[in-house]
């Protein structure tokens, strides 16, 4: 997600509930699609991410 000035937000979701609410329509459409959907869940080192910014 990008802010009005074009910068990307480091954490665009305020909570896990916000993230899940945003992902729900995408997952629902993918589940209804006849095409296969491949995804993986990967861990993120938040300390390293914070240091990068």
How many structural domains is the chain composed of? 1
Instruction: Give the number of other CB atoms < 10 A from CB of residue 19.
Output: 13
Using one digit for the tens of pLDDT, what is the confidence trace for 1-53? 455 566 665 666 678 788 888 889 988 888 898 988 787 888 888 888 777 66
pLDDT given at position 2: 52
Q: What separation in angstroms does the CA of 32 have from each of 20, 36, 38?
A: 18, 10, 14
Q: Check: CB of residue 23 under 8 Å from CB of residue 30.
A: no
Whole-number pLDDT of residue 13: 66
* Domain range enclosing 12: 1-53
Whose CA is closest to 22, among 13, 30, 31? 13
State pTM to two decimals.
0.39
């Amino acid at each position: 997600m990008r802010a009005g000035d074009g910068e990307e937000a480091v954490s665009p979701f305020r909570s896990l509930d916000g993230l899940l609410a945003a992902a729900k329509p995408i997952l629902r459409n993918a589940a209804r699609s006849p095409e296969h959907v491949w995804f993986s869940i990967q861990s993120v080192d938040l300390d390293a991410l914070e240091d990068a910014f």
